[in-house]
Amino acid sequence: MNKKGKILLIDDNEDVLFALNALLLPYVEKIKVSTNPEKIEHFLQTHQPDIIFLDMNFREDVVSGKEGFDWLEKILQIDPKAIVIFMTAYADTEKAVQAIKSGATDFISKPWEKEKLLATLFSALKLKESQNEIEHLKVQIESLSDSAGFPEIIGESESMQEVFSIVEKLAETDANVLILGENGTGKDLIARAIHQHSSRANHVFINIDLGTIPETLFESELFGYEKGAFTDAKKDKAGRMEIASGGTLFLDEIGNLSLPMQAKLLTAIEKKQISRLGANATIPINVRYITATNKDLYEAVENAEFRQDLLYRINTIEIHIPPLRERGNDIILLAEHFLQKFSRKYKKDTEKLSYEAKTKLMSYGWQGNVRELQNVMERAVVLSNEKTLKAENIVLQTKEGKKKKEIEFLNLEELEQMAINKAMKQCSGNMNEAAKLLGITRYALYRKINK
């Protein structure tokens, strides 16, 4: 049998402790016992039990259970997530209800039935395992966030100052936020800024790219599942929404959700609860939703591609992130920021941009926005060995740019040949139509083709 879990048994009756120890030892890793509840704090620190079996009455002829409730309160002050199972020889329904309301996980009466006691133990161990998994995932996510850092959002333009102003105002609210903007504008950074300025800043921030989750995995990823819910469900798994409870859930690319997925998400948001796959019980969640998309959701609503009721739920506040090409001198501020960042990363001596390099950056369209600028600056720093980046160090690789470059080096004869080929292709080889399209006679077109 695979033993797991550490148990702490607290009871003033040594015979009870002996019997419990003998009964539970074959099923758990380690057991500590004590007749003195004053040692609870010591055992919590040294033994770090997963489950605590706590007697409700420690003085002879006392049946109120008050002592047990007092010790439960102290335990939960030390460890709010402690799993405590009350034990008493004077069980009644009212006391059991009070125990659960006070924070106990379960309640068993003495003398106990072996099967019921073991079922209570296994259920508590399962709950502890689920708690540990959630905490582990939270630590993983938070450590990833910390290691990635939170880059300063740079921008002095009027449009970005408006964005910053909205983020500051949102600090006093828990309203759901919809962030709109083109790809690469930094919607995820704004989402993190909102979280870090909110009352939930000390809680977890979960980022989900909905565009990458297949519809078949949507429910298991967001809501989690119970062991045995499907073929590969070897153990219970908490979903992202459950893990995010107490913190912020950032749903990126929400415009990519199918209508069935939108319906399931809407239900969870409205009811503030989720149900794991394969489970009957519901789990309450307390989540602040921040969503983002580069799509026009209002047009999608008109085209019956996005639910209007879901849009109303997620867009209490809307933030529009301007594209980089509309942010003026922010282009240079960001370029200089990336220059310093990558110079440190690659141990380069590159310090500044030349006037010509700045002019080239300012005159470019930046269809890929800040993300594209970052890639361009990283490439420029890697390939440069000079202290000042020049215009020729700034390589703008786009389809549009390549076409322009090709056209710049074509002579007149080559341009004419390209125009004829394009016209003939567009007119499916019809000479009369191609000649009209080119603005010449059919005879002239024949002559040029022969030439």
In CATH, what number is assigned to the domain containing residue 124?
A: 3.40.50.2300
Query: Domain of 444?
Result: 410-450
Strands (E), 321-363: 352-353
Is 337 in the same domain as 307? no
The strand pairing partners of 238, in sequence order, are 224
Is 161 in the same domain as 291? yes
Span 110-146, pLDDT tens digits: 888 888 888 888 888 888 877 776 665 555 544 444 4
Is 101 in the same domain as 156? no
The count of C-alpha atoms lying within 13 angstroms of the C-alpha of 213, restricted to the half-sphere facing its C-beta, is 24
> Is there a domain that residue 250 lies in?
yes
Q: Please give the Cα distance from 290 to 93 (Å, whole number).
A: 43
> Is there a domain that residue 141 lies in?
no
Of the two residues 2 and 195, the one the predictor is more confident about is 195
Is 12 in the same domain as 124? yes
Window from 19-23, 230-234, 246-250, 370-374 with minimum mean pLDDT: 230-234
Reading the block at residue 350, the tokens are: 């590159």
Residue 57 to residues 21, 65, 69, 264, 322, Cα–Cα distance (Å):
19, 5, 9, 47, 66
Residue-level pLDDT at 405: 44
DSSP 212-247: GS-GGGHHHHHHEE-TTSSTT--S-EE-HHHHTTTS
Is 417 in the same domain as 312? no
The predicted model scores a pTM of: 0.58
Q: Please give the Cα distance from 5 to 430 (Å, whole number).
A: 82
Span 202-217, pLDDT tens digits: 889 999 988 888 888 8
Q: What does the angle CA 184 – CA 186 – CA 191 come to, to the nearest 5 degrees?
A: 140
Window from 96-110, 135-149, 150-164, 274-288 with minimum mean pLDDT: 135-149
Is 394 in the same domain as 416? no
Assign residue 417 the CATH number of its domain: 1.10.10
Mean pLDDT of the chain: 84
